Amino acid sequence: MRPRILIVDDHEIVREGVRGLIRRSRPEWEISGEATNGQDAIEAVKKLRPDIVVLDITMPVMSGLEASALIADLDPRPRILMFTMHESDRLSAEVRQAKAQGYVLKSQAARNLIRAIERLLLGGEFFGPEPGPGQFGGPPVKMSMTS
């Protein structure tokens, strides 16, 4: 069965970008619908029953964080991926408190959005990219000093 994805963002250009990235990268995935605010997202989840909800945090009517918690209480089946331009030290904690399974920064969408959705589809979480070699938390990089 094709994974069904709901895209929620108050900016049409962002929804178009996410839709285009998904269609180019994973044409077998289905965009089941779109919404422009948290309240509409809740109604769309009830109607469309998506597997993944890509949910902006800052929207009119109801924020994505509020909507995420309500969606999780309403139906625990859809996996929720917050999609935001606001990076902060508290972001992971706020996303977890909202009962979402991860987040992707909009500035890193081209490299992380598909990977994050795949991880959530497999039952995992995505709280930012894993550190690479030499980055904090990654394996040490061996350096040789040759002259």
Residue-wise pLDDT for 109-143, tens only, equals: 999 999 999 999 999 999 976 544 443 333 443 44
88 in any annotated domain: yes
Please write the tens of the pLDDT for every residue from 87-118: 888 999 999 999 999 999 999 999 999 999 99
Please write the tens of the pLDDT for every residue from 26-75: 999 999 999 999 999 999 999 999 999 999 999 999 999 999 999 999 99
Q: Which domain holds residue 32?
A: 4-125
For helices 109-121 and 12-25, the axis angle rounded to 10 degrees is: 70
User: Which parts of 2-142 fold into alpha helices (H)?
Assistant: 12-25, 38-48, 64-74, 91-97, 109-121
Which pTM was predicted?
A: 0.86
Question: Which domain CATH number covers 32?
Answer: 3.40.50.2300
16 in any annotated domain: yes
How many structural domains does the chain have?
1
